[in-house]
Amino acid sequence: MPFARFAGVDTILGPEMRSTGEVMGWDRSFALAFLKAQMGAGTNLPAEGRVFLSVKDTDKTAALATAARDLVAMGFEIVATRGTATWLAEANVACEIVNKVYEGRPNIVDRLKNGDLALVFNTTEGTQAINDSRDIRAVALYDKIPYFTTAAASIAAVQAMQARLVGEIGVRTLQG
Protein backbone atom coordinates (compact mmCIF):
# COMPACT_ATOMS: atom_id res chain seq x y z
CA MET A 1 0.00 0.00 0.00
CA PRO A 2 1.33 3.45 -0.74
CA PHE A 3 0.36 4.51 2.79
CA ALA A 4 3.12 2.33 4.24
CA ARG A 5 5.63 4.97 3.16
CA PHE A 6 4.28 7.50 5.65
CA ALA A 7 4.49 6.56 9.32
CA GLY A 8 1.38 7.41 11.30
CA VAL A 9 -0.79 8.22 8.28
CA ASP A 10 -4.52 7.41 8.44
CA THR A 11 -5.59 5.32 5.46
CA ILE A 12 -9.18 6.51 5.21
CA LEU A 13 -9.65 8.02 1.78
CA GLY A 14 -10.98 11.51 1.28
CA PRO A 15 -12.51 12.57 -2.06
CA GLU A 16 -9.21 13.84 -3.43
CA MET A 17 -7.45 10.52 -2.73
CA ARG A 18 -10.16 8.38 -4.33
CA SER A 19 -9.43 9.96 -7.69
CA THR A 20 -5.64 9.63 -7.69
CA GLY A 21 -3.30 6.70 -7.75
CA GLU A 22 0.13 5.36 -8.52
CA VAL A 23 -0.64 2.44 -10.82
CA MET A 24 -3.04 1.32 -13.50
CA GLY A 25 -4.28 -2.19 -14.16
CA TRP A 26 -5.03 -3.11 -17.77
CA ASP A 27 -6.95 -6.18 -18.91
CA ARG A 28 -10.00 -7.30 -20.88
CA SER A 29 -12.12 -7.47 -17.72
CA PHE A 30 -12.54 -4.88 -15.00
CA ALA A 31 -11.97 -7.55 -12.34
CA LEU A 32 -8.56 -8.58 -13.67
CA ALA A 33 -7.59 -4.95 -14.28
CA PHE A 34 -8.50 -4.13 -10.67
CA LEU A 35 -6.49 -7.15 -9.47
CA LYS A 36 -3.45 -5.97 -11.44
CA ALA A 37 -3.81 -2.45 -10.07
CA GLN A 38 -3.91 -3.79 -6.52
CA MET A 39 -0.87 -5.97 -7.17
CA GLY A 40 0.96 -2.99 -8.68
CA ALA A 41 0.20 -0.92 -5.60
CA GLY A 42 1.57 -3.69 -3.37
CA THR A 43 -1.80 -4.94 -2.11
CA ASN A 44 -1.96 -8.73 -2.12
CA LEU A 45 -5.56 -9.89 -2.05
CA PRO A 46 -5.82 -13.12 -0.05
CA ALA A 47 -6.86 -16.50 -1.43
CA GLU A 48 -8.16 -17.76 1.91
CA GLY A 49 -8.87 -16.76 5.49
CA ARG A 50 -11.28 -14.54 7.37
CA VAL A 51 -12.70 -11.25 6.14
CA PHE A 52 -13.82 -8.49 8.50
CA LEU A 53 -16.92 -6.70 7.27
CA SER A 54 -18.36 -3.62 8.94
CA VAL A 55 -20.36 -1.25 6.77
CA LYS A 56 -22.46 1.86 7.24
CA ASP A 57 -26.20 1.50 6.71
CA THR A 58 -26.22 3.15 3.29
CA ASP A 59 -23.74 0.52 2.03
CA LYS A 60 -25.89 -2.43 3.11
CA THR A 61 -26.97 -3.18 -0.45
CA ALA A 62 -27.85 -6.28 -2.42
CA ALA A 63 -24.59 -5.92 -4.37
CA LEU A 64 -22.48 -5.98 -1.21
CA ALA A 65 -24.50 -8.89 0.19
CA THR A 66 -23.80 -10.77 -3.05
CA ALA A 67 -20.09 -10.01 -2.65
CA ALA A 68 -20.22 -11.41 0.90
CA ARG A 69 -21.92 -14.58 -0.37
CA ASP A 70 -19.26 -14.85 -3.07
CA LEU A 71 -16.55 -14.67 -0.40
CA VAL A 72 -18.18 -17.54 1.49
CA ALA A 73 -18.47 -19.52 -1.76
CA MET A 74 -14.71 -19.05 -2.27
CA GLY A 75 -14.08 -20.53 1.19
CA PHE A 76 -13.66 -17.35 3.23
CA GLU A 77 -15.19 -16.90 6.66
CA ILE A 78 -16.91 -13.61 7.48
CA VAL A 79 -16.40 -11.76 10.76
CA ALA A 80 -18.69 -8.76 11.31
CA THR A 81 -19.81 -6.22 13.86
CA ARG A 82 -23.32 -6.69 15.29
CA GLY A 83 -25.19 -4.32 12.99
CA THR A 84 -23.50 -5.70 9.90
CA ALA A 85 -24.00 -9.27 11.15
CA THR A 86 -27.75 -8.66 11.50
CA TRP A 87 -27.90 -7.37 7.92
CA LEU A 88 -25.82 -10.32 6.67
CA ALA A 89 -28.12 -12.79 8.45
CA GLU A 90 -31.11 -11.21 6.70
CA ALA A 91 -29.23 -11.73 3.42
CA ASN A 92 -28.53 -15.40 4.33
CA VAL A 93 -24.80 -14.91 4.83
CA ALA A 94 -23.28 -16.74 7.80
CA CYS A 95 -20.81 -14.81 9.91
CA GLU A 96 -19.16 -14.60 13.30
CA ILE A 97 -19.83 -11.52 15.43
CA VAL A 98 -16.89 -9.53 16.77
CA ASN A 99 -16.91 -6.65 19.25
CA LYS A 100 -16.16 -3.11 18.23
CA VAL A 101 -13.25 -1.59 20.15
CA TYR A 102 -15.46 0.17 22.71
CA GLU A 103 -17.63 -2.95 23.27
CA GLY A 104 -14.95 -4.84 25.18
CA ARG A 105 -12.48 -7.60 24.55
CA PRO A 106 -11.77 -9.53 22.51
CA ASN A 107 -12.53 -6.98 19.80
CA ILE A 108 -11.73 -6.41 16.16
CA VAL A 109 -8.34 -4.83 16.86
CA ASP A 110 -7.38 -7.84 19.00
CA ARG A 111 -8.37 -10.16 16.14
CA LEU A 112 -6.28 -8.16 13.66
CA LYS A 113 -3.25 -8.09 15.97
CA ASN A 114 -3.55 -11.87 16.46
CA GLY A 115 -3.36 -12.43 12.71
CA ASP A 116 -6.90 -13.81 12.53
CA LEU A 117 -7.99 -11.70 9.56
CA ALA A 118 -6.79 -11.60 5.97
CA LEU A 119 -8.92 -8.77 4.56
CA VAL A 120 -10.90 -5.77 5.85
CA PHE A 121 -13.97 -4.07 4.36
CA ASN A 122 -14.87 -1.16 6.63
CA THR A 123 -17.00 1.73 5.44
CA THR A 124 -17.70 4.46 7.94
CA GLU A 125 -19.72 7.64 8.15
CA GLY A 126 -19.51 10.45 10.66
CA THR A 127 -16.70 11.66 12.86
CA GLN A 128 -17.28 9.18 15.70
CA ALA A 129 -17.34 6.12 13.43
CA ILE A 130 -14.23 7.28 11.60
CA ASN A 131 -12.40 7.85 14.89
CA ASP A 132 -13.55 4.46 16.21
CA SER A 133 -12.08 2.73 13.16
CA ARG A 134 -8.71 4.51 13.27
CA ASP A 135 -7.06 1.71 15.29
CA ILE A 136 -8.39 -0.87 12.83
CA ARG A 137 -6.89 1.02 9.90
CA ALA A 138 -3.55 1.48 11.69
CA VAL A 139 -3.17 -2.22 12.55
CA ALA A 140 -4.23 -3.30 9.05
CA LEU A 141 -1.66 -0.96 7.51
CA TYR A 142 1.11 -2.08 9.87
CA ASP A 143 0.39 -5.78 9.23
CA LYS A 144 -0.15 -5.26 5.46
CA ILE A 145 -3.74 -6.52 5.59
CA PRO A 146 -5.68 -5.28 2.56
CA TYR A 147 -8.20 -2.68 3.69
CA PHE A 148 -11.03 -1.16 1.65
CA THR A 149 -13.02 1.85 2.85
CA THR A 150 -15.75 2.02 0.20
CA ALA A 151 -18.45 -0.43 -0.85
CA ALA A 152 -17.47 -0.05 -4.52
CA ALA A 153 -13.83 -0.97 -3.85
CA SER A 154 -14.89 -3.86 -1.59
CA ILE A 155 -17.12 -5.29 -4.33
CA ALA A 156 -14.35 -4.79 -6.90
CA ALA A 157 -11.88 -6.62 -4.64
CA VAL A 158 -14.22 -9.63 -4.41
CA GLN A 159 -14.67 -9.62 -8.19
CA ALA A 160 -10.89 -9.49 -8.60
CA MET A 161 -10.43 -12.42 -6.22
CA GLN A 162 -13.00 -14.43 -8.20
CA ALA A 163 -11.35 -13.54 -11.51
CA ARG A 164 -7.99 -14.67 -10.19
CA LEU A 165 -9.47 -18.13 -9.58
CA VAL A 166 -10.65 -18.58 -13.17
CA GLY A 167 -8.57 -16.21 -15.27
CA GLU A 168 -4.96 -16.16 -16.24
CA ILE A 169 -3.14 -13.01 -15.24
CA GLY A 170 -1.43 -12.02 -18.46
CA VAL A 171 0.30 -9.04 -19.97
CA ARG A 172 -1.46 -6.73 -22.43
CA THR A 173 -0.21 -3.73 -24.30
CA LEU A 174 -2.05 -0.43 -24.06
CA GLN A 175 -2.45 -0.48 -27.85
CA GLY A 176 -4.18 -3.88 -27.93
Nearest to 139 by CA among 4, 48, 2, 34: 4
Task: Measure CA 29 to chain center.
Answer: 20
The answer for residues whose C-beta is within 8 angstroms of residue 116's C-beta and 6 or more apart is 50, 79
Question: Distance between CA 90 and CA 36 in Å, rounded?
Answer: 33
Query: Within 13 Å of residue 7, how many CA atoms lie on the same side as its CB?
Result: 0
Task: Tell me which of 47 and 8 has the higher pLDDT.
Answer: 47
Whole-model pTM? Answer: 0.85
- The length of the chain in residues reads 176
Read off the pLDDT of each residue in 80-89 and give the average, rounded to a whole number: 98
Least confident of 33-42, 54-63, 162-171: 162-171
Query: Considering the domain 47-155 in this protein, what is its CATH number?
Result: 3.40.50.1380
Mean pLDDT of 26-46: 92
Helices (H) and strands (E) in the chain, counts: 8, 5
Give the pLDDT confidence score for residue 24 in this predicted structure. 81
Contact between residue 100 and residue 133 where contact means Cβ atoms under 8 Å apart: no
| Domain assignments of the chain as residue spans, ordered by start | 47-155
Mean pLDDT confidence for 85-114: 96
As a whole number of angstroms, the distance between CA 115 and CA 136 comes to: 13
Confidence of residue 33 (pLDDT cuts 50, 70, 90): very high
Angle, CA of 40, 130 and 67, to the nearest 5°: 55
pLDDT tens for each residue of 102-153: 899 999 999 999 999 999 999 988 777 777 789 999 999 999 999 999 999 9
Most confident of 3-17, 18-32, 61-75: 61-75
Distance CA 151, CA 60 (A): 9
The arithmetic mean of pLDDT across residues 144-169, rounded, is 94
